[in-house]
Chain A
Amino acid sequence: MTAILYHGEPNAASFSVLAALAESGLEIECRAIDLLAGERHTIPGLSEPLARDMSIEGEGPVLVIDGEAMSDAVFLAQYLDDAAGGCGLQPSVAYAHWEMMMWCRQLTERLAPAAAYIGTLAHAQRKLAAIGADGFAKLAGTIAAEDLRARWQDLHDGTVDAAKVEDSRAKVAQFAQRAEDRLADGREWLMGDFSIADLETYGWMAGMRALEAEAFAGKPKLHAWFARIEARPSVQAALARATTDKPQNSWAPGPEINRWG
């Protein structure tokens, strides 16, 4: 079996998978790629590219095992936990496991698209706009999914939907409140025990602290939780892979904002 993890800077989906890998103790080769240069779409040696091409989370990390592309950070983290024979990233009690999956499902559907929209407008839009028309056309031509390509195009063209910005800001604030409420009973981690929910939530929220500071104001439990997460060796290992000072400012087109209900 050959396995390679292609990842971006340790932020958003790439962060959670890199930290989950460190938690799992599995030896898997990691290769850093520039997500905003479209390098995810030219990964070599893929015999089954489906999950790379049609990933719901947009420009997330891709684990390639024997030519099959595997994507979507929560499931990759679950895979790593399963493959390690259980490394404590998922609760073993069924109800607690459901709670974690439910949290992650709502996070990937609500927080992740919102954070990606805000994050890319703040930190990726100018870089993409600087690519000339020919260069961008070449990049876009490598993206298989029409709707993901459209999100890249909007970002390149500077097309901003004010309603989406407003909706995204509200969703970041709601999720920050939700996390604060969750921690209100004094628990150390979101699900009680440490889990994938902590990594995912951190990955998508870390960069929002500066961009949406108001959403995080007056939330002492959440700030203490950020500090606990950042003290974890797996998180430090993931963040140590950064090639920039502020990996939390590395964004590329993410999941789509709900188009229907």
Chain B
Amino acid sequence: MADIALYHWEPNANSGKPMLALAEKGVQWDSHYTDLLNFDQHKPAYLAMNPQGTIPVMTHGDLVLTESTAMMEYVDEAFAGPALMPSDPRDRWRVRWWMKFMDQWLGPSFSMIGWSMFVGPSVRQKDPAELEAAIERIPLPERRVAWRKAISGNFSEEEMAESRRRVAEGVRLLEEELGKRPYVGSNQYTLADINIFNSTYSLPLGQPDLAGPDKTPNIMAWLKRIYDRPAVTEVWAMGRTDLAKRVTAMMEML
């Protein structure tokens, strides 16, 4: 048994961040697949580790870590292997800035669209009483609201339009950024690339009106560089849902 364990869902969005960072570092870790669609993250044993009930959680010996972006910085600092943060202070600032832009502005819009199209429909057929009991166990009130919305499909046209606007704007800004440098925020592959890749790896498939070889050549070249990394192949082999199938289709496109 490794000293490091990760409780994660699919190699996607927040779960994918530490998975990929650990793989890049060459760290061995025990995988605990935590099924978001089965509300595993709100069960007592999980809540005992992370009272907020968010995925992922990492343990390193007796230490427990949450918040996937800060967790990645820990992975980079605590383990040997290639540096995943630049050394120049301004580059470090830029990497952190882009991660926050993804985590707190663009990511929630991707997430709202993803939850309305994938997470909601995936759990909707479960027994309503069971679903209600599962929602009641969610510790954070804003997550309870999100789950109720996803299950009922009760998204307003206004909020979906705002999410689509932000995705379009975010993709435009990312394309512009990748025209300045080969990687997000710096000239080397960093945590910002890992972070943003985990929410944009299938963008040209999901949003062909926004991203593709003609519309976003910089993003396409950047995606290809990341797809070529062995760590990505290794981590994607751990996927269990249809999300992973999108990667095969993407690889054919690149």
Q: Which residues of A contact B (CB under 8 A)?
A: 50-51, 54, 56, 65, 68, 70-72, 74-76, 78-79, 82-83, 94-95, 97-98, 101-102, 105-106, 108-109, 146-147, 255, 258-261
- Contact at A98–B65, with CB atoms within 8 Å? yes
Question: What are the residues of chain A within 8 A of B173 when measuring CB–CB?
Answer: 50, 54
Cα A75 to Cα B185 with chains together (Å): 13
Question: What are the residues of chain B within 8 A of A97 when measuring CB–CB?
Answer: 73-74, 77
- Contact at B89–A105, with CB atoms within 8 Å? no
Is B133 an interface position by the 8 A CB rule? no
Cα A76 to Cα B92 with chains together (Å): 10
Question: What are the residues of chain A within 8 A of B93 when measuring CB–CB?
Answer: 70, 75-76, 78-79, 82
Is B118 an interface position by the 8 A CB rule? no
Question: What are the residues of chain B within 8 A of A82 when measuring CB–CB?
Answer: 89, 92-93
Question: What are the residues of chain A within 8 A of B146 when measuring CB–CB?
Answer: 260-261
Min CB gap B155→A, angstroms: 10
Question: What are the residues of chain A within 8 A of B162 when measuring CB–CB?
Answer: 147, 259
What 14 additional pairs, Cβ within 8 angstroms, besides A56-B101, A261-B115?
A54-B101, A54-B173, A56-B105, A70-B93, A70-B97, A72-B97, A72-B100, A78-B96, A79-B89, A95-B63, A98-B74, A101-B70, A260-B163, A261-B111
Question: What are the residues of chain B within 8 A of A78 when measuring CB–CB?
Answer: 92-93, 96
Is B124 an interface position by the 8 A CB rule? no
- Contact at B111–A105, with CB atoms within 8 Å? no
Is B104 an interface position by the 8 A CB rule? yes
- Contact at A259–B159, with CB atoms within 8 Å? yes
Selected from B63, B71, B142, the residue in CB contact (under 8 A) with A261 is: B142
Cα A131 to Cα B63 with chains together (Å): 53
- Contact at B74–A94, with CB atoms within 8 Å? yes
Is B190 an interface position by the 8 A CB rule? no
Is B66 an interface position by the 8 A CB rule? yes
Is B199 an interface position by the 8 A CB rule? no
User: Scoring B residues 48 to 60 as 1 if CB is less than 8 Å from chain A, else 0, what string do you get?
Assistant: 0000000000001
- Contact at A56–B100, with CB atoms within 8 Å? yes
- Contact at B74–A75, with CB atoms within 8 Å? no
- Contact at B97–A102, with CB atoms within 8 Å? no
Selected from A68, A83, A260, the residue in CB contact (under 8 A) with B111 is: A260
Question: What are the residues of chain B within 8 A of A105 when measuring CB–CB?
Answer: 67, 69-70, 103
Cα A109 to Cα B105 with chains together (Å): 11
User: Scoring B residues 83 to 105 as 1 if CB is less than 8 Å from chain A, else 0, what string do you get?
Assistant: 00000011011001100110111
Cα A98 to Cα B57 with chains together (Å): 13
Cα A259 to Cα B105 with chains together (Å): 9
Question: What are the residues of chain A within 8 A of B74 when measuring CB–CB?
Answer: 94-95, 97-98
Min CB gap B88→A, angstroms: 9
Please report whether the interface of chain A is mostly helix, strand, loop or mixed according to DSSP. helix
Is B208 an interface position by the 8 A CB rule? no
Cα A255 to Cα B100 with chains together (Å): 12
- Contact at B142–A258, with CB atoms within 8 Å? yes
Question: What are the residues of chain B within 8 A of A56 when measuring CB–CB?
Answer: 100-101, 104-105
Question: What are the residues of chain B within 8 A of A102 when measuring CB–CB?
Answer: 65-67, 70
Min CB gap A70→B, angstroms: 6
Residue among B104, B109, B159 with max Cβ neighbours from chain A (10 Å): B104
Given A54-B101, A97-B73, the answer on whether A261 and B90 have CB atoms closer than 8 Å is no
- Contact at A259–B92, with CB atoms within 8 Å? no
Min CB gap A139→B, angstroms: 22
Is B246 an interface position by the 8 A CB rule? no
Cα A51 to Cα B142 with chains together (Å): 27
- Contact at A98–B71, with CB atoms within 8 Å? yes
Min CB gap B165→A, angstroms: 7
Is B43 an interface position by the 8 A CB rule? no
Is B128 an interface position by the 8 A CB rule? no
Given A65-B90, A102-B66, A102-B70, the answer on whether A260 and B78 have CB atoms closer than 8 Å is no
Is B143 an interface position by the 8 A CB rule? yes
- Contact at B105–A101, with CB atoms within 8 Å? no
Min CB gap A5→B, angstroms: 13
Cα A125 to Cα B63 with chains together (Å): 45
Is B112 an interface position by the 8 A CB rule? yes
List 6 contacting pairs A-B, 8 Å CB cutoff, sorted by A. A56-B100, A79-B93, A94-B78, A97-B73, A260-B109, A261-B115
Within 8 A of A (CB), among B115-168: 115, 142-143, 145-146, 159, 162-163, 165-166
Question: What are the residues of chain B within 8 A of A106 when measuring CB–CB?
Answer: 67
- Contact at A70–B165, with CB atoms within 8 Å? no
Is B230 an interface position by the 8 A CB rule? no
Question: What are the residues of chain B within 8 A of A258 when measuring CB–CB?
Answer: 108, 142
